[in-house]
Structure 1
Amino acid sequence: MGRAETAAFGSDIVAETLRSLDIPYIALNPGASFRGLHDSLVNHLGNDRPQMLLCLHEEHAVAIAQGYAKVTGKAMAVAVHSNVGLFHATMAIFNAWCDRMPVLVIGATGPLDAEKRRPWIDWIHTARDQGAIVRNYIKWDDQPASPGAAREALIRATWIAETLPAGPVYVNLDAWMQEAPLAAPLPPLDPRRLAPKIEQRPAAEDVDRVAAMLRAAKRPLILVGRVSRSERGWAERIALAEAVGARVLTDLKVGAGFPTDHRLSLAPPGVFPLPPAHAALEQADVVLSLDWIALNGVLPSRPAAQVIHVSLDHHLHNGWSMDHQALAPVDQLIAADPDALVSALCRALAVASGAVETAVVTSPESGLESADAAGPLLVSDLAVRLRAALAGRLVSLLHLPLSWDGAFWPFRHPLDFIGSDGGGGIGAGPGISVGAALALRGSGRLPVSICGDGDFLMGVTALWTAVHYKLPLLLVVANNRSFFNDEVHQERVARARGRPVENKWIGQRMTDPEIDLAGMARAQGAEGFGPVTARAELDQAYRRAIAVVEAGGVAVVDVRVEPGYTPAMASALTRETKIRETKE
């Protein structure tokens, strides 16, 4: 592919800046408002660093960037077409915001100079303040008016996005600025000097105080929330817990932060903590929270323990979004990177961390499957038989459904599970999975995603991008033919009002006709298997699908499961409901 050697237009400067920031990919759905940038990426840079990733929807493009960030911690670029593309992208941007993941979203607008707008189309694609569409759930935005200003805006935006607490940013480019010839060459810039790394380390006196508290504690407990995918951080968390004898609780809303089958692991991870976790929190004398997302939701209302919360998240709290959660009783807030605090504690306590083993999937324990071998498939059957089929392989779980029980699958490495969508946005699972698979390409890990049927149906066309760019991915659909979580809510409302619970399915079930999920996968170029309704069929479908992925392909297995939650999950959900009812 030929390429122009010298920057000649404003958009050439934008493209060169993305390369100087070492951004390897830019996901996009094409649009005329950034046609200048599109040309520069292709004909000036040769579609290399960044390489364009064509997506079928802007929401998928942002979700892919979020999935990439969940593995790497680095911002990928996304281009969205004017206001209409940004409107499409908003749900995924909100997910990335709640997930605290860095994403560089580049938008565009019709010419800001009204005299340069084409009739009709440029006018409807121009907004006076386009950034206002997303400003409440991004870290920063800008609308630069010149190539020089655009270069600085992109450098600043990436710097802000990746600085903890991380999050999405938005830079809106004037179409005329992109397409206008450069009046003169711009002087060179070194992004590394303009965006120095910010390390949020704890103060020495805070480290000493916490170390002393942990030494003296009889029943310490560590809550592992938002932490990095770093192997060093993983090893140091294990070393710290073992040194002070702390029990550890983890969370399915975020990526794996501690081995879930370790002797100090308090309970399997869940979206909502299980009853054993609450009992241990009642008895703890010191609680160390490593950026736990909803601290108020796990602590007793009047905790006897001394509570130490390590977080930078307060820097992002605003008056529009309530994702900051309720205030929690905290005795000491340490505004620092949780990884840095744990590392400093290990040094203060003279604790040496060991090496991290890249553990393969092991065969499941007995008793996790349904006791009724002839009965309908349950999510437990889906999980246990998938784990058995993948035994002996390195696997990363990229997405899990709400019906998942943490006891199904132990996490033994920071990349064994990368966390949820962040904002509860159904439809993000496939796109996040594609982005994570992109980041894992060449790692030796087999990317596996388990999505609910509603999530899959809203995001299925993201799989076309994975097929097109040859990103191996196994996606299993836990297909209960319902938006079942809402059935649970309708049942609770009906019971509270003395109304018939048997009507809870109306407006929830996806039947009559049944949807051919495997056919929808095949329509994107993936291999589709199912619907699978029996255990013998499930084992065979898994074997065939895994073979497809190991050969470099994308495979989808549609597993028909009964609606419902495991007893542990149901117990946790019931407790959360009682908390709400008590407050009401």
Structure 2
Amino acid sequence: MVEIRSVELPENVGTNREMIWNSDLAAEMLRILDIPYIAINPGASYRGFEDSLVNYLGNRGPQMLVCLHEDHVVSIAHGYAKVTGKPMACALHSNVGLMHGLMGIFNAWCDRVPMLVIGATGPVEVERRRPWIDWIHTFKDQGAMLRHFTKWDDEPRSPMGIVQAFLKGAHMTRDLPQAPVYICLDAGLQEQAIGRDIALPDPRRYEPANPPSGSPEDIADIARRIAKAKCPVFLFGRGSRLQSDWDRRVELAEAYSALVITSQHERAVFPTAHPLHVGAPIDPISSEAKQALAAADLVVSFDWVDLSGLIQHVETSGGAFTGSLVHVSLDLALHNGASMDYFGIPAVDRTIKADPDAFLTQLLPALRGLPSAAVPRQQSNPTAGASTTISTGAELTSVDIEKALADERGQQKFTVAHIPLTWDGTIYDYRDPLDFLGHDGGAGLAAGPGITIGAALALKGSGRPVISVMGDGDFLQGATALWTAAHYGIPALFIVANNQSNFNDEIHQNVMASFRDRPLENRWIGQRLSDPEIDLATIAKGQGVDGEGPVKTAETLHAAIKRGLAAVREGRPYLIDVHIARPKLAKASPTGRVGR
């Protein structure tokens, strides 16, 4: 097993460890803020900063993780934050590197994860610019490129400005609700001497506040509503990775016999095989969830994403939502006019501006002693003891992958970092907060491999295998992230559900042809990834990652997963290319809806 700290050890460090340059100061700020890693794709705009990371810090605290593309720089930091709830740093070169990384930053923004994005521009002083290259790589306001989907940004102009920027950025990204921040370092400023003594701050004096909680009036009111409800439903959306918060969600649901709905878009927040959990995590809404919501006299949303859309689904499918609706969330603090990632405005009976887990911590003591009016009930949950017998059909499906993983897991602890759009959800249940890490946030392709590596980095040495199941389109756009996993010995199992097509767009083309009465047989044109067939295992092996495939039969799938998990336990990444059937498509109905 490769020890990350043994990779890329600098030589002769210690001969010049005095903090002299402004870039040394920026590097020192990352150290005192306890940032363990910084993912980079090298660039001249922060050459001073890179020198400081290596020759001043010794490439430790943080350690650099070299990536082959800026997409991976950001997505690795994204995956790390999904597990830890803490920020990594990532560096993007000038305007051009930032443009490459913008999709990943948007994913992280939509997923509400912390991240310190370090950029660079300039030199701002024109007399310090090299001819041609420094001019085209200098923007007057580089932060404007991502200001609408970051929480805060800054471009410091002095040594004390650097100190302030890193203190403020670390505070802002960790404070709830969390989201990425951006600090742009002037190349000229980096390469200047500090010139005076700088008193380094004590980071303990700049910690975020405790999570915002509810008022006594909020707590008393919601406690009364829950105690009086006969058919309560709890929507658990965004939630922490803490086991104590997980346990409180279960305690609340059981105490008041409330049905629970969770989403496949969000991280695991409740045991999905629990009798009170309504079917599988929804995406899209299931008939069981529609029935539960239509019958509810009280629905409490704990930071449910797109609450308005959920209620709309119930009402447009013939149901009627007549219950009282409560929404507990801090997300309003991040809403702006650029993106519609805040979704529709839900019509609610009471809004509580509080962190949902902090509010639950307050709510449970207030409820103890209040008798429940709820009718005792439980779901016939398909994820509880579902059959995991693999199919014996001529072609595999993504459900076969899900079943094989469920069989292989047994009572072990796995972390699923990514799933494809075709994940069924009724077979592989979630049992603890790290069982599943949720969607990529912004629905941008290429994130899956990097997010998986970031999660595996955070869990390296934990004994908990990290597994990712992704479509071939997502994998191919992010495939070069695997080199970073091989180089630093970051173990993860990558399973590609390969239907040799951008199949989601085949579905969209099928819808268009159906609506316009045009030939359905042409929906594959411009979507298929074949002729020649892409050898995914060779792509992996070319980067130092063992792989196999294509796996095409049920008999070989289990064996491949066993080999892959053995490699991960030895500390190595591994890839399995699984060829799956493309579903048969019928003519779309006029009311048919499809996903991304």
TM bracket, shorter-chain basis: over 0.9
Say how many residue pairs are matched: 564
Q: Deviations over 1:76-105 (max 9, x none)?
A: 100111001100100000000110111110
Instruction: Describe the shift of the 1:460–1:576 C-alpha distance in structure 2 as closer, same or farther (beyond 3 A).
Output: farther
Query: Shift of the alpha carbon at 1:523?
Result: 1.2
Question: How do residues 125-144 of structure 1 correspond to structure 2 at under 5 angstroms?
Answer: 125-144=137-156
Following superposition, the deviation at residue 188 of structure 1 comes to 2.4
The CA distance in 2 between the partners of 1:444 and 1:367, in whole Å, is: 24
2:575 is the alignment partner of 1:556: yes
In the alignment, does 2:66 pair up with 1:47?
Answer: no
Match of 2:5 in 1: none
Describe the SS at the equivalent of 1:298.
Answer: helix
Q: Select 2:28's aligned residue among 6, 16, 41.
A: 16
Partner of 1:458: 477
* Between 269-278 and 394-403, the greater mean CA deviation after superposition: 269-278
How far apart are the structure 1 equivalents of 2:174 and 2:21? 28
Matched letter for residue 321 of structure 1: S
1:321 equivalent in alignment to 2:342: no
Post-superposition Cα deviations, 1:88-142, rounded to whole Å, max 9, x if no partner, equal: 1000000001101111100001211101111111111111111111111111111
SS at the partner of 2:42? Answer: coil
1:325 maps to a residue whose letter is: F
Task: State the Cα distance separating 1:368 from its structure 2 match.
Answer: 6.0
Q: What does 1:23-422 correspond to in 2, within 5 Å?
A: 23-299=35-311, 300-301=314-315, 303-350=321-368, 365-366=386-387, 369-370=390-391, 373-422=392-441
In 2, distance between residues paired with 1:168 and 1:445? 27
Q: How far off is 1:247 after superposition? A: 0.2
User: Can you list the C-alpha shifts for 1:31-56, whole angstroms capped at 9, x where unaligned?
Assistant: 11101110111111111110101111
* 2:456 equivalent to 1:437: yes
Other-structure match for 1:357: none
State the Cα distance separating 1:363 from its structure 2 match. Answer: 12
Amino acid corresponding to residue 425 of structure 1 in structure 2: G
Map of 1:541 onto structure 2: 560
Shift of 1:252: 0.8
Give per-residue Cα distances to partners, 1:480-516, cap 9 Å, x unaligned.
1111111111111111111111111111111111100
Once the two structures are TM-superposed, the CA of residue 19 in structure 1 deviates from its matched residue by: 0.6
Superposed displacement of residue 194, structure 1: 2.9
1:518 maps onto 2:507 in alignment? no
Alpha-carbon offset, residue 199 of structure 1: 2.2
Cα deviation for residue 72 of structure 1 reads: 0.6
Q: Which runs of 5+ in 2 are unaligned?
A: 1-9, 370-382
Is the 1:364–1:388 Cα contact (8 Å) retained in structure 2? no
Instruction: Tell me the distance in 1 between the aligned counterparts of 2:389 and 2:346.
Output: 35
* Distance in 2 (alpha carbons) for counterparts of 1:369 and 1:245: 34
Normalising to structure 1: TM-score of the pair? 0.93
Structure-1 separation of matches of 2:35 and 2:400: 41
Q: C-alpha separation between the residues in 2 aligned to 1:212 and 1:89? A: 47
Residue identity in the other structure for 2:560:
A
Amino acid at match of 2:521: E
Q: Is the 8 A contact 1:484 1:564 kept in 2?
A: no
Taking structure 1 as reference, are residues 95 and 11 closer, same or farther at Cα in structure 2, changes over 3 Å only? same
Code of the aligned partner of 1:327: I
Provide the C-alpha distance between the structure 2 equivalents of 1:7 and 1:467, rounded to a whole number of angstroms. Answer: 33
Aligned mates of 1:474, 1:187 — CA distance in 2: 46
SS in 2 for 1:472: coil
Q: Tell me if structure 2 keeps the 8 A contact 1:403–1:564.
A: no
SS of corresponding position for 1:292? coil
In structure 2, give the amino acid aligned to 1:394: K
1:5 aligns with 2:23: no
Q: Is the 8 A contact 1:363 1:387 kept in 2?
A: no
For 1:406, what is the secondary structure of its paired residue?
coil
Q: Does the CA contact (< 8 Å) of 2:235 and 2:262 recur in 1? A: yes
Amino acid at match of 1:497: R
Q: Is the contact between residue 77 and residue 115 of structure 2 (CA under 8 Å) also seen in structure 1?
A: yes
Do the aligned partners of 2:87 and 2:114 also contact (CA within 8 Å) in 1?
yes
Distance (whole Å) between structure 1 residues aligned to residue 409 and residue 495 of structure 2: 13
Inter-CA distance 579–11: structure 2 relative to 1 (3 Å threshold) = closer
What is the deviation of 1:574?
A: 8.4
Distance 1:193 1:118, change over 3 A: same
Please give the per-residue CA displacement for 1:139-168, whole angstroms capped at 9, x wherever unaligned: 111110012101111110111111111111
Task: Name the amino acid aligned to 1:9.
Answer: W
SS in 2 for 1:407: coil
Give the direction of change, closer, same or farther, for the CA distance of 1:516–1:579 in structure 2 (3 Å limit): closer
Q: Does the 8 Å contact 2:298/2:324 carry over to 1?
A: yes
CA distance in 2, matches of 1:25, 1:574: 50
Question: How far has the Cα of 1:387 moved from its partner?
Answer: 2.2
CA contact (8 A) 2:390 2:554 kept: no
Q: Which amino acid aligns with 1:416?
A: D
Seen in structure 2, the aligned counterparts of structure 1 residues 400 and 333 have a Cα distance that, compared at 3 Å, is: same
Matched, 1:470 2:489: yes
Contact 2:388/2:404 (CA < 8 Å) preserved in 1? Answer: no
Aligned partners of 1:495, 1:155: CA distance in 2, in Å?
55
* Alpha-carbon distance in 2 for matches of 1:280, 1:541: 40
| Deviation digits for residues 182-241 of structure 1 (CA, Å, limit 9, x no counterpart) | 111201211221344342111111011111110110000000101111111000000000
**Partners of 2:182 and 2:389 in 1: CA distance:** 45
Structure 1 unaligned regions, length at least 5: 352-361
RMSD, matched Cα:
2.0
Normalising by structure 2, report the TM-score: 0.92
Aligned residues of 2:118 and 2:183 also touching (Cα < 8 A): yes
Shift of 1:579: 10
CA-to-partner distance for each residue in 1:270-321, whole Å, 9 max, x for gaps? Answer: 3212111011101100001011111112224463111010111111111110
Q: Separation in 1 of the partners of 2:132 and 2:591?
A: 52
